[in-house]
Amino acid sequence: MRTALSSLLLMLLLSLPATATDADSVKYWLPHCKALTSAGQTDMKGTYLEGECLGMIKASAFIIQAAPPGGLPFRACLPDNAITTDQLVTVVLRWMEKKPDLAGEDFIVVTMLALAATWPCK
């Protein structure tokens, strides 16, 4: 089952365009995601977008770890049960902020790059 899920997720990932549309880009999502790490969301749409961002980051972490070796162009090996959700989000967002040249790229792909750069498999 896990292999089938990994294969399906890999196909979905590979079907993403090389350059993201604005609504899929790091530039679009970064402000909504940064709100996750600050207190005081004031509207429902903002809260929804924060939740969507969190879901994308957590799903990306699952996908990049579940993919078989050679299944993705990059992999990450996060320490089991040692990373909190807050740490995961913070690491990804800080990495993105340090790479402004990737602002127009797909958020999920850049999230996976951030995870692979931070927690490479040895």
State the chain's mean pLDDT as an integer. 81
3-state secondary structure the chain: CHHHHHHHHHHHHHCCCCCCCHHHEHHHHHHHHHHHHCCCCCCHHHHHHHHHHHHHHHHHHHHHHHCCCCCCCCCCCCCCCCCCHHHHHHHHHHHHHCCHHHCCCEHHHHHHHHHHHHCCCC
How many angstroms separate the CA atoms of 90 and 101, rounded? 19
Residue 39: what pLDDT? 67
Which range of residues forms the domain containing residue 11? Answer: 2-118
Read off the pLDDT of residues 27-72 as tens digits, 9 standing for 90 and up: 998 888 888 777 665 677 778 888 899 999 999 999 988 888 788 8
Look at 14 and 112; give whichever has higher pLDDT.
112
Portion of the chain with pLDDT greater than 90, in percent = 40
Instruction: Select the more confidently predicted residue: 16 or 95.
Output: 95
Q: Which residues pair with 106 in a beta bridge?
A: 25
Residue 79: pLDDT over 50: yes
Number of domains within the chain: 1
* pTM across the whole model: 0.75
